Amino acid sequence: MFAALIKTLNDHGRGTHGYSALAEAGYEKARSGPEAAAYYMLAKQADDFVEFAERMPVPAREIDGMFDRISANAAALDAAVAGGDRAAILDVLNTIAQEAVAMRNTG
């Protein structure tokens, strides 16, 4: 489910265009999907990274780190949704939100 967003990112490259494509796909899913909050949070995470990357040069390790984080978050959401565990879904959403706040504080 959420892994499809990571495929979108890989298909468009791991630069700002790829993260923009992931964000748009996530926002679209959030408009009509049953897991709107999860799609929105992944889209917002990607969108925030694009905003960050457009303001300043981003070292390769930061780009790789973001890919690792967003991939892990998508996989964790897939697992939590598949397990039907709402508490686990909320935990992952909280992790994504905390990462977003941390990124805003460094940018």
Question: What is the predicted pLDDT for the residue at 106?
Answer: 67
Per-residue model confidence as pLDDT tens for the chain (107 residues)? 999 999 999 999 999 999 999 999 999 999 987 899 999 999 999 999 999 899 888 899 989 999 999 999 999 999 999 999 999 999 999 999 998 888 777 65
Q: In the chain, where does DSSP find H-type helix?
A: 3-12, 16-32, 36-55, 60-83, 86-106
The DSSP code for 35 is T
Cβ atoms of residues 96 and 71 within 8 Å: no
